A and B are shown apart, each in its own frame.
Chain A
Amino acid sequence: NAGVTQTPKFRVLKTGQSMTLLCAQDMNHEYMYWYRQDPGMGLRLIHYSVGEGTTAKGEVPDGYNVSRLKKQNFLLGLESAAPSQTSVYFCASSSPGLFSSTDTQYFGPGTRLTVL
């Protein structure tokens, strides 16, 4: 199993450009999440999904959109990139039983995005 994969690994954008980050998981998880990680800020939840065709806002959703057309994929879009969106983006997935003794959120390797 590949687990959680993210594409691309690195990207540099100019202000105002758009892009889509792809997250894919092969664990048949219902729940998927997008976080951003900034120095000294920990991880902050951008958007999440509790199943195919559903999305919901997290802590810092402004400037981002998401889609979950297929259960295994969760896309994060930036319509008009801004320098404040320079960050490392992590995708994660989990089953609904996150708080059982045997489950966790599984994280991808991250995408490092720089907006100039």
Chain B
Amino acid sequence: AQSVTQLGSHVSVSEGALVLLRCNYSSSVPPYLFWYVQYPNQGLQLLLKYTSAATLVKGINGFEAEFKKSETSFHLTKPSAHMSDAAEYFCAVGSGGNNRLAFGKGNQVVVIP
């Protein structure tokens, strides 16, 4: 079964500083990996996804993530945090055998002015 681990439920970052959210996956087959963002009182929106086309994936709002098979990781980064990045972020893994996703527990990002 596929699973992802996100450490640190709450992440504080200063405005203008690097945003780094860690995601490690477990999968017996080549994984499909996703990052979603959830703003307060809203549903989830796709930030970016990895489907084996390229290891460095660029998403919306200046976010990107790098797939590292040797480290079973798919960490999310943004060079410079904005106040509007305050939200909850979820990593998810899926397999080609079905259309299901397994989500991590999420990271609540707080941006400090």
Contacts and interface: CB of A to CB of B under 8 A. Distances in A.
Residue in B34, B49, B94 whose Cβ sees the most chain A Cβ within 10 Å: B49
Interface residues of A, number: 27
A91 to B, nearest CB: 9
Interface string B88-113: 00100010100111111110000000
Contacts of B105: 40-42
Interface string A34-47: 01000011111100
B104 to A, nearest CB: 6
Contact of A98 (B6, B9, B43, B94): B94
A109 B101 CA distance: 18
Given A58-B100, A98-B99, A109 B46 contact: no
A74 interface: no
Nearest to A96: B99
Contacts of B106: 40, 42
Secondary structure call for the B interface? loop
A89 B42 CA distance: 11
Contacts of B12: none
B9 A109 contact: no
B63 interface: no
A110 B42 CA distance: 7
A42 to B, nearest CB: 4
In the A-B complex, list the 6 residue pairs whose CB atoms are closest, starting with the nearest. A107-B43, A104-B46, A42-B105, A43-B103, A42-B103, A99-B32
Interface of B: 6, 9, 32, 34, 41-46, 49, 51, 53, 90, 94, 96, 99-106
Interface of A: 4, 31, 33, 35, 40-45, 48, 50, 58, 90, 92, 94, 96, 98-101, 104-105, 107-110
